[in-house]
Amino acid sequence: MAAAGPQGGLRLTGEGMNARRIIRLSIAILASGVSLALSWPYWRDFGFWPESRGMWIGYFVVGYVLAVYVFYAFLDSLGTLFEHDELERGADREDAP
């Protein structure tokens, strides 16, 4: 699952990568769910649908999927940022006399 990387840091192998993706995706789904709940127009009785019910469902679904993507992209890129840091620290350690 985890192995020593070329610069001494941890490098995840296939199984670990999958686990990490699942964790990130789960967080993204959960966080998007919370955001959706906070954004839901509760004060509307939906008696007035200017764009039709189908359009509203479209807004909800597309909005949710986009939100999951943005959360996932955030977690993924943040993870890479930390990996870069770990690699650079490893390189510094190797360069040190």
Partner 1 sequence: MIRIEYATQRLSLRFFMLMLVLFFFQTGFGLLLAAQHVDPALLAGVLNFNVIRAEHTNLAVLWILSGFIGTILFVGPLLSKRELAAPALIKFLFYALIAIVLWNVATQVLAQTGVAGWWHGEPLLQEGLEYLEAGRIADVVILIGFAILCYVVLRSFPPLSKWNEIHWGLGIGVVALTLVWIFGMFFVERLDLQEYFRWYVVHYWVEGVWEVIHISLVGFLLVLMFRADIKSVGYAVFWGISLVWLSGLIGNAHHYFWIGTPEFWQFWGSLFSALEPLPLIFCFWHIYLDAHQDGKPIRNMPAFAFLLGSVVLEQVGAGILGFTMTFALTNVWSHGTWVTLSHAHLALFGTFGMLGIAAAYYAVPIMRGVTGFDQRHGKLAFWLVFTSMLGLGFAFAIGGTVQVFTYRTLGLDWFGGDVAPAMQFAKLMAPLFGTLFTVGVCLLAYDLLTLGLTKPAPSARRAQETAAMAARAPSRWGRRLTGWEAGLWLLGLWVAGAVITLGLLSFNLPFVQQGHAALPYLMASIGYPGLFIVTLLFVWRFLSSLEARTHVDAGLPLATAAVAPSASG
Contacts with partner 1, residue ranges (CB under 8 A): 35-36, 38-44, 50-51, 55-56, 59-60, 63-64, 66-67, 69-71, 73-74, 77-78, 80-82, 84-85, 88-89, 92
Q: How far apart are CA 97 and CA 75, in angstroms?
A: 36
Whichever of 16 and 83 has its CB closer to partner 1, that residue is 83
Q: How far is the CB of 59 from partner 1 (least distance, A)?
A: 5
Q: How far apart are CA 35 and CA 68, in angstroms?
A: 10
- Sole residue written with tokens 């040190």: 96
> Is residue 72 within 8 Å of 24, Cβ to Cβ?
yes
Q: How far is the CB of 66 from partner 1 (least distance, A)?
A: 8
